[in-house]
Amino acid sequence: MRRVRGRDTKPEMTVRRMMHSMGYRYRLHAKDLPGKPDLVFRSRRKIVFVHGCFWHRHAECALARLPKSRQDFWLPKLDANRQRDMRNERALQDAGWDVLTIWECELSDIAQLKTRIRGFLDA
């Protein structure tokens, strides 16, 4: 567990490189916002989270499977992660921020993801 990183993960770095190449500039991990969002666009009042499917329990995703051992440990832990994510997103929306969540499994189709990001940031 100690080796699991909370920031600068491979999916996050992929999204950051892609968004930078698209011409978007952002701030990282704003400590003054709930959940320390991965990417913050203050002038646009928009936030992007990059979530791993396993750790954040992406619904109906093959990558979000439960481990077969120690389910008494994993179920509450992963459910708490999901509840915390929903609380943070709700708090950000109540504060006037628009929130986009990019899941790890969505990185397989970069063209579609670029379209989705452009639609979110330019709207």
pLDDT given at position 36: 94
DSSP states of 41-93: EGGGTEEEEEE-HHHHT-TT-GGGPPPSS-HHHHHHHHHHHHHHHHHHHHHHH
Residue spans per domain, the chain: 10-122
CATH of 10-122, one of 3.40.50.720, 3.40.960.10, 3.30.460.20, 3.40.50.10380: 3.40.960.10
Taking the C-alpha atoms of residue 123 and residue 119, their distance in angstroms, rounded to an integer, is 6
The amino acid at residue 56 is H
Crossing angle of helices 10-21 and 110-122, in 10° steps, is 60
pLDDT given at position 3: 63
Taking alpha carbons only, the member of 39, 32, 47 closest to residue 90 is 47
pLDDT given at position 4: 65
Q: What is the pLDDT along the chain (123 residues), one digit of tens a residue?
A: 566 667 778 999 999 999 999 999 999 999 999 999 999 999 999 999 999 999 899 988 888 888 899 999 999 999 999 999 999 999 999 999 999 999 999 999 999 999 999 999 998
pLDDT given at position 63: 85
Reduced to 3 states (helix: H, G, I; strand: E, B; else coil), residue 30 is coil
Q: How many CB atoms lie within 10 A of CB 19?
A: 21
Q: Tokens standing for 90?
A: 């709700």
